[in-house]
Structure 1
């Protein structure tokens, strides 16, 4: 993910609104300098943050990343570049956000998914815009369900 940020630095500068936020995101991806007593404990500044990481993960993996939460907005992230495969519905990774943690959520086929992250529409490439078209009906179901 650090390579993604480095290779497309100017794109991410625009997305994140400047050097400070990009530096924060990049630092969150680097190994911690402080040793912890317990193996596998991540420092708070190293935690996955949305919407920042949603864009990077979707782009690096070429998958759809869905964040479901009751705190804030549930969102869908698509790759910022490239076109989806012939079956993008099979490329969904869903994370459920609970206070202080994320859990993997296995979605049923054709289930509703939340709206697209607003920033994606402003920063995706011309070729990547087609990602959203495969999920419009599912996003409409989600909006109807939430109302």
Structure 2
């Protein structure tokens, strides 16, 4: 072993003065190793994706590959150690399945800011929508959108959102019974949330506006729910107001009558009216959450008008 280390050190020392009759392209005064390619770190990477860095050596012909050790725990060693090249690389094998999964997620996150997508929102609001991002449409799309927007980066983060919202209801059961009022509505919401498989049937989908109060209160966020038919703002029911710059604002959109997406708004966007049940049922400690948005709510009413419902319960004239 000691002899091998001595040889390795000698290889490293000799690498800078390499000159061989088998490869006349390298001389003492040339740097023969350089970085070949470093993948650009762009916004295309999601939080769980890691950029790959590729290094290359300018020496030609075949390179000697080190044998893999049995105790390497699914890792691999490669080497470009011909004539004492000092570089050794170690990395985990990237399987085709992992590549496919990574690519699928990147495609799911593709921006959908086309005119057809923007048409799903009130016309007056469209200039303030910077971009819209899609999520998997498997019946859990609403929970997937919320998970991404609040920073849960795990692929199954939607299950955590379901569990969090269930815990929020069960921890404040009497408050939500008073808020919803309708007999049996709490049981319906618990039933809808208590589902943790893919391909959720319609009765297990996120339902708005009812779940808006639960989401805002559970995560202490300001939630904007946007669609052509109904747009509302949901505020936390039981927490002290935070300074405006410390608040987390998130927005989801309901499109095509059956799908939720993530919506990113410009900084100067108007704000939909506050959900009526918040005004009637928030605790006194939550007074003041709404005051920061009054002028922007007026702006929303002026540019959107009556094209989008701004109440939780829509009354229909049957005459």
TM-score w.r.t. the length of structure 1 is 0.88
Aligned to 2:175: 11
**Cα distance 1:139–1:88, how it changes in 2: closer, same or farther (>3 A)?**
farther
Aligned to 1:143: 301
Report whether the alignment pairs 1:129 with 2:293. Answer: no
Name the larger-Rg structure: 2
Aligned to 2:235: 78
Q: Return the offset for 1:56.
A: 0.2
Aligned to 2:209: 51
Aligned to 1:92: 249
Across the two proteins, how many residue pairs are aligned to each other? 140
Once residues 247 and 268 of structure 2 are traced to their aligned partners in structure 1, the CA distance between those partners, rounded to angstroms, is 10
**Cα distance 1:138–1:28, how it changes in 2: closer, same or farther (>3 A)?**
same
Gaps of 5+ in 1: none
Gaps of 5+ in 2: 1-164, 306-319
Aligned to 1:115: 273
Deviates most, 58-67 or 129-138: 129-138
Q: Return the offset for 1:18.
A: 4.2
Report whether the alignment pairs 1:67 with 2:225. Answer: yes
Report whether the alignment pairs 1:105 with 2:263. Answer: yes
Q: Return the offset for 1:105.
A: 0.4
* Structure 1 stretches of at least 4 aligned residues deviating more than 6 Å after TM superposition: none
Aligned to 1:23: 187
Native 8 Å contact 2:242 2:289 kept in 1:
no
**Cα distance 1:44–1:21, how it changes in 2: closer, same or farther (>3 A)?**
same
Secondary structure in 2 matching 1:106: strand
Secondary structure in 1 matching 2:254: strand
- Higher relative contact order, chain-length normalized (CA < 8 Å, sep 6+): 1
Once residues 53 and 88 of structure 1 are traced to their aligned partners in structure 2, the CA distance between those partners, rounded to angstroms, is 25
Q: Return the offset for 1:82.
A: 0.5
